[in-house]
Amino acid sequence: MALPLRSLTPAAPDPILGLTEAFKADSRPEKVNLSVGVYVDDSGVTPVIPSVLEAERRLLEKAGSKGYLPIDGRPAYREAVRDLVFGADHEIVASGRSATAQTPGGTGALRVAADFLLQTGSSKTIWLSEPTWPNHPQIFAMAGFALRTYPYLDESGRRVDSDRMLGTLGSATPGDVVLLQGSCHNPSGVDPDPETWAATGEVVVERELLPIVDFAYQGFGFGLREDADWQAGLARPGLEFLVCSSFSKNFALYNERVGALTVVAADSGRAASALSHLKIAIRSNYSNPPAHGGDIVGTILADAALRVQWEVDLAGMRNRILGNRAALVDSLLAAGVPGDWEPIRRQRGMFALLGLSAGQVARLRDEFAVYVVGRGRINVAGLTAANLPHVVASVKAVIES
């Protein structure tokens, strides 16, 4: 009998991480990788930020242990993450109506959220923004969800189309799950304004939807609290939702895989029940989380001086990205590249969507060695003084011919 593996044909490479594999194999000296969302400094290096270096030094000095963590992670880490997400004086913290579990990255949090919801009998339908991060549909489809999409951007691709977005969500079936990106929308960099968040909260309440907030970039856009403006719409008394946090970007801890899933329930009793089910979802998947990345984040958030240092480190990354946005727009305009570029200056987070066709994206890679994700999503952090002229000239060439 033929083994099932014998009939397997190769799967398509990952639409983001697969590009970095191709980039590494490219021998052209002018190559530029603007695909995966990883921060680099102006010399093209992804630094270990000073607060993380100091936390690691302290951890090394402590007589540690490599024993298992609890299924839901270290208690102090879980509390620190909750306070970071909401602010220590928030009603959700005071009421104790949330439960946080430590997870391997934000992706781990999303998968645990999916498993938890299906295992506790939620709707099997999830609504995703169109466009969204390409891994979102894969994570939720693999877990067993049926996927629906809501329109997100207007025709310009530079603004949220709140009427169409909210109109579509208004047709969702009560109980359906809706994935909302808290800030720094991936791939567009375009976020809802406060009025749209407030109206989203109304639709969620009216239609009895269950939001999952993917909060992977807290502090990477405009600031730790500024990037939490979604909470004015969603963090209302009684409203239940989930938050997936990632510390890959804001602590530059990409390969440590550190994140968290927070369930906000109507009251503390329901939060405790939710945690008991989260633990089953985790135990049946990866058993318990890796410790090192969480210990770094926990050490920083627990120490006043290290926390200040981290906020300085974070502001440094944020400001470089904002500077890159301005430099990109200025260069595109100065080069006379046809397009509506000015709004990119005021967008939030790592990404900008240039709005390129599949053919233009392929030409950027094949003719100019510039690697960008579908529709021309670029990692703005990957621009440097050295590569910007080549990137702009290449974009101009593929748009004009």
- For residue 194, give both structure tokens: 């406060």
Complex with ligand LMR: residue 16 or 392, whichever CB lies closer? 16
**Which residue number is nearest to ligand LMR in terms of Cβ?**
37
- Smallest Cα–Cα separation from 261: which of 280, 275, 249, 276? 275
CB 139, CB 299: distance < 8 Å: no
| Closest distance to ligand LMR from the beta carbon of 163 (Å) | 27
Using CB under 6 A as the binding rule, whether residue 179 contacts ligand LMR is answered as no
The site map against ligand LMR for 34-63 (x = CB under 6 A) is --xx--------------------------
Residues 246 and 107: their CA atoms lie apart, in Å, by: 8
Question: Applying CB under 6 A, does 16 fall inside the site for ligand LMR?
Answer: yes
| Subset of residues 187 to 216 that bind ligand LMR, contact rule: CB under 6 A | none
Minimum CB distance to ligand LMR, residue 343 (Å): 20
Q: Whose CA is closest to 132, among 156, 151, 116? A: 151
Residues 248 and 254 sit within 8 Å (Cβ to Cβ): yes
Q: Which is nearer to ligand LMR, 74 or 375 (CB)?
A: 375
Of 133 and 251, which has the nearer Cβ to ligand LMR? Answer: 133
Q: Is 247 in the site for ligand LMR (CB under 6 A)?
A: no
Instruction: Determine the Cα–Cα distance for residues 399 and 169; give it in Å rounded to an integer.
Output: 35
SS3 content of the chain, % helix, strand, coil (to 5): 50, 15, 40
- Minimum distance from residue 126 beta carbon to ligand LMR (Å): 18
Site map 139..178 versus ligand LMR, x via CB under 6 A: ----------------------------------------
DSSP 125: E
Buried b vs exposed e over 79-101: b needs ≥16 C-beta within 10 Å?
Answer: bbbbebbbbeebebbeeebbbbb
Site membership for ligand LMR, residue 186 (CB under 6 A)? yes
Binding test (CB under 6 A) with ligand LMR, winner from 39, 133, 215, 220 = 133
Work out how close the CB of 254 gets to ligand LMR at its nearest, in angstroms, rounded to a whole number.
8
Residue number, 133 or 152, with CB nearest to ligand LMR: 133
Supply the minimum distance, in Å, between the C-beta of residue 259 and ligand LMR.
Answer: 11
Amino acid at 303: D
Q: How far is the CB of 16 from ligand LMR (least distance, A)?
A: 4
Q: Which residue has the tokens 């939710």?
A: 274
Q: How far is the CB of 180 from ligand LMR (least distance, A)?
A: 16
Q: Which is nearer to ligand LMR, 253 or 271 (CB)?
A: 253
- At 380 the three-state DSSP class reads helix
Q: Is 217 within 8 Å of 185 (Cβ atoms)?
A: no
**3 state DSSP class of 174:** coil
The residues assigned a catalytic role are: 133, 214, 249
Site for ligand LMR in 254-273 (CB under 6 A): none
Q: How far apart are CA 352 and CA 349, in angstroms?
A: 8
Phi and psi, residue 147, nearest 5°? -100, 135
Judged by DSSP in three states, 131 sits in coil
CB of 133 or CB of 140, closer to ligand LMR = 133
Contact between 314 and ligand LMR (CB under 6 A)? no
Helix 105-119 with 268-283: angle, nearest 10 deg? 110
Cβ proximity to ligand LMR: between 139 and 143 the closer is 139
Question: Which parts of this chain interact with ligand LMR (CB under 6 A)?
Answer: 16, 36-37, 133, 135, 186
